[in-house]
Amino acid sequence: MMEIESEYSRYWYNEYLAEHSEGEGGMTASLRGIDLNLLTVFDAVMREESFSRAAGTLGMTQPAVSNAVARLRHTFDDPLFVRTRYGMTPTERASELIGPVREALGILQETLDSATAFDPARSNRTFRLAMGDYGELILLPALLRLFGDCGGDMTVQVDPESDVDSLAGLKRGAVDFFFDYRPPDDAQLDACSLGDEEVVVIARQAHPLAGKRLTKKTYLAAKHVVLTQRDASRTLLESLWPQHESIPRKVMARVRQYAAMPSLVVQTDCLATLPRRMAELSAQRFPLEIYPLPFSSRRVPSYMIWHRSRARDKGHRWLKQAIQEMAAPG
């Protein structure tokens, strides 16, 4: 837990909080007298959605965390966290507060350790990424090789990118990066493009189309295994189609993971449409043929998304740069 011992630092930090949080539902000048260590507890509970897990990350006892939250509830005149079947769920007021609190903590932490760079060779940090099976198969192997080369004890926890809980985790700071095919429309979040990718078609090598050119007519006449997007109303291809029009394909199966598509295709006469890198990886493991998509379509974009409050986190910045370099063409 970050200790704030300097009276000057305490004064400067509280001045920052007062300046950045008045209005728009933020904190008020009553924070001038708050114990700053309570805010590190607030941040930890927001990330973990559990008093016991927050206590573990902070090196505190659970009763001490509960007492700190009780003091914060009194300060903010709000419950802040409500116990549900999923854990300690933040209230609307807590969600409003976490942005300025986390930004201020980041500024102060950066001031206190400004001379210390993030050293991956000495880090035991766990990074949590919401990337789904595409990221697990394409990006994660390269990331683990990098971690191994660094020689530290860094680890990765992967969440499904289609899980709404992962997006909520990104907003409360529990998830470091969220990967998606569209940029965020939330002011709390920032993103960068990781490029785009051609869409192709796979079929088993013994498919009736073997040795023939795949045309739009034969494509639409075939049966398909399709990838359903998060809202379950569109497939991957339809999300790239102008105005998201419905494509008149004969759908035999709808799946939620890329990894399910090759094994289904290789055992049937179905076709599947997916990004080229996933198709090429699948063709290394299964007897598949790869065909160009027989009509024009947008390429599949990819975005890496994070919470703006992590901008000063040196480990976060290191991983972001590493992933950008991995995704760079060539």
Look at residue 21 in the predicted model and tell me its pLDDT. 45
The residue ranking higher by pLDDT, 189 or 243, is 189
Positions of CATH 1.10.10.10 in the chain: 7-112
Instruction: Examine the pLDDT at 70 and tell me if it is beyond 60.
Output: yes
Intervals of CATH 3.40.190.10 along the chain: 126-196+302-327, 199-298
State the CATH architecture for 199-298: 3-Layer(aba) Sandwich (3.40)
In the chain, what is the straight-line distance between the N-terminal and C-terminal CA atoms, in Å? 42
pLDDT above 70 for 22: no
CATH topology of domain 7-112: Arc Repressor Mutant, subunit A (1.10.10)
Structure confidence by residue, pLDDT tens digits, 85-120: 878 888 989 888 887 887 778 777 767 666 677 899
How sure is the predictor about 171, in pLDDT bands with cuts at 50, 70 and 90?
confident
Look at residue 244 in the predicted model and tell me its pLDDT: 55
pLDDT of residue 181: 84
Which whole number is the average pLDDT over 288-313?
Answer: 89
Cα–Cα distances in angstroms (integers) from residue 91 to residues 169, 171, 308, in the given order: 14, 13, 20
Q: What is the pTM for the complete model shown?
A: 0.71
* Per CATH, domain 126-196+302-327 is 3.40.190.10: yes
**For all residues of the chain together, what is the average pLDDT?**
82
Q: Is residue 24's pLDDT more than 60? A: no
